[in-house]
A = this chain, B = another copy of it.
Amino acid sequence: MAPASDADLIPLIRKLESIAQLADAERQAILSLPANIRAVDARQDIVSEKDRPSHCCLVLSGWVCRYKLLDQGKRQILSYHVPGDLPDLQSLHLAVMDHSLATVTASRLAFIPHENMRDAILRFPNLGAALWRDTLIDSAIFREWMTGIGRRSAQARIAHQLCEMYMKLEAVGLAQQHRCELPITQSDIADGLGLTNVHVNRSLKVLRSRGLLTLRGRELVIHDWSGLTQAAEFDPTYLHLEPRAA
């Protein structure tokens, strides 16, 4: 647990600028937010269901995910988050966690007190709008996942998820040329898509054999972007990636 230096909060600025326009004063306000930095191992809970967090978590490096657990150990992963994301921003207005937040890989996290977030939002309504917009995009992604889980075939779900991950990473400069790091297991993919790891494995094999992608070690390579988006019925509108005066 160490205090943050200015440079630590740069991923947050990059992220917000991928979805909204910020003024200098607003960028400055972000940089001067107080934060404690913590390094966390892979597969550790950060915040748990029923907790009442007093800080917002900002991902500086690594991947984290939100999830719910049901009876008999069934797990549903709700979202993945990468550097620049604020995966529990909702806790600013929803006191009790209705899900858990955990690291996927080893990560560096910054914790920003709620009060300082609230204060910055009051002083910079446009910054508040950008953050609100961020939670709304989150919401849009939930809707898309719901649609996939409810109505798409296993292959299309997987293809869709990979398209989304690539585009989100590209938007913050963490991917290019249809390649990116993908540090999640097939069981993680399964738990995000409402499938079993076995079936994810089989479906990935088909996608591979169709020449659409390769997924080895922790690297995803999309060989045929247009084919993959077609297999996925992927339309990126829901990511709302055009920065916009909020």
Binding site for B on A (CB under 8 A): 49-50, 66, 68, 70-71, 74-76, 78, 90, 93-96, 98-99, 121-122, 125, 128-129, 132-133, 135-140, 142-147, 149-152, 191, 193-194, 233, 237-238, 240, 244, 246
The answer to whether A90 and B152 have CB atoms under 8 Å apart is no
CA distance A175 to B66 in the complex (A): 33
Residue pair A93, B150 in contact (C-beta under 8 Å) = no
- Say which residue of B50, B125, B147 sits within 8 Å of A125 (CB atoms): B125
Which residue among A76, A93, A137, A237 has the maximum number of chain B CB atoms within 10 Å of its CB?
A93
Mind listing 18 A-B residue pairs with CB under 8 Å? A49-B237, A50-B237, A68-B144, A68-B147, A70-B151, A70-B233, A78-B143, A94-B133, A96-B237, A96-B240, A128-B128, A132-B132, A132-B135, A142-B142, A142-B146, A145-B146, A149-B149, A150-B191
Complex: A150 Cα to B128 Cα, angstroms: 33
Pick the 3 closest A-B CB pairs, nearest first.
Answer: A150-B194, A142-B142, A98-B238
The interface residues of chain B lying within 8 Å CB-to-CB of A147 are: 68, 70, 76, 78
Determine chain A's interface SS by DSSP, over half rule.
helix
Taking CB atoms, residues of chain B closer than 8 Å to A139 are: 90, 135, 138-139, 142
Least distance between A70 CB and chain B CB atoms (Å): 5
Does the CB pair B132–A78 fall under 8 Å?
Answer: no
Contact of A193 among B133, B150, B152 (CB under 8 A): B150
